[in-house]
Amino acid sequence: MEYQLCPSILSADFNRLGEQIQALEGQGLKWLHIDVMDGDFVPSISFGMPVIKSIRRESNMFFDVHLMVTEPERYVQDFVECGADSITVHAEACEDLERTVERIRDAGVQAGIALKPATPLMEISYLLQQIDMLLIMTVQPGFGGQEYIEDSTEKIRQACQLLKDEGAEIPIQVDGGINDQTLPLVLEAGASRIVAGSYLFQGDLSENIAKARKIMGRYTE
Ligand code: DX5
Ligand code: ZN
């Protein structure tokens, strides 16, 4: 299993965004988690295509775009053109989830499905063979800096089991409330793509990355 720490730029200092992405890249991180919010699927609005397009020019990281957007199918092509390597859509946001996933894959990038904390795994079990990643939200989508929802640990375990039962060898990503205390829980439960926003960007970025890596090392070696 390949483990990735995926810094979420939602918690970055946008006045120094390019510099901070360079620092992440300099630390050898490969994935960049990019949260797009539309003010409809979630209450808040973050940023969109122009920002992604600009940072794409300066970065070779894998752009993991998390769309918290109603009917994301409408924007698949736009996000591919501005540089996404993977597009994750919310099951709850799509009128036709299967068609949306197909559209993402047909556009030549990886497809992920995200589930809000209250959405049961069974709702998407029929699609597990057709996606590249399953994102289990460990907070309510919409804001950085929230507290990890305890029940998520069991959901990650169940997701792991479901993937095994279905013979789908895809990674589980977790997003929200990851810190020193919750990182071991999600790794233990079987997550391998770890999104972290405030945990990495509050305080010293390189020290925080080193801390997270040390914890991850205990589970991944
Ligand atoms: C929340 C976003 C997250 C957010 C995580 O809706 O999807 O990616 O940036 O922030 P932290 O790690 O601070 O909970
Ligand atoms: Zn996210």
- Domains of the chain from N-terminus onward: 4-217 (3.20.20.70)
Sequence-separated (6 or more) residues with CB below 8 Å from residue 122 = none
**Is there a catalytic annotation at residue 35?**
yes
Would the CB of 33 count as within 6 Å of ligand 1?
yes
Position 220 scores a pLDDT of: 81
Would the CB of 10 count as within 6 Å of ligand 1?
yes
Ligand nearest to C-alpha 112: 2
Helix ranges restricted to H, 14-124:
17-26, 49-58, 76-81, 97-106
CA of 201 to the centre of ligand 2 (A): 14
What is the C-alpha to C-alpha distance for residues 93 and 39, in angstroms, rounded to an integer?
13
0.85 exceeded by pTM: yes
Ligand nearest to C-alpha 88: 2
Q: Are 65 and 107 in contact (CB under 8 A)?
A: no
Please provide the DSSP assignment of 163-213 as one string: HHHHT---PEEEESS-STTHHHHHHHHT--EEEESHHHHSS-HHHHHHHHH
CA of 106 to the centre of ligand 1 (A): 28
Residue 221 pLDDT class (50, 70, 90 cuts) = low
> Could you say which of 38, 96, 175, 204 is catalytic?
175
Would the CB of 144 count as within 6 Å of ligand 1?
yes
- In the chain, what percentage of residues exceed pLDDT 70? 100
Residue 37 pLDDT class (50, 70, 90 cuts) = very high
Mean pLDDT of 62-78: 98
Give the residues across from 193 on adjacent strands.
4, 173
What is the C-alpha to C-alpha distance for residues 161 and 172, in angstroms, rounded to an integer?
11
- In the chain, what percentage of residues exceed pLDDT 90? 98
CA of 10 to the centre of ligand 1 (A): 7
* Residue from 215, 217, 142 nearest 178 by CA: 215
Residue 129 pLDDT class (50, 70, 90 cuts) = very high
Would the CB of 146 count as within 6 Å of ligand 1?
yes
**Is there a catalytic annotation at residue 175?**
yes
CA of 129 to the centre of ligand 2 (A): 22
Mean pLDDT of the residues in the chain: 97
Cβ-in-10-Å burial (0-12, 13-18, 19+) of 121 comes to: middle
For residue 37, give the ligand 1 atom closest to its CA: 6
Would the CB of 7 count as within 6 Å of ligand 1?
no
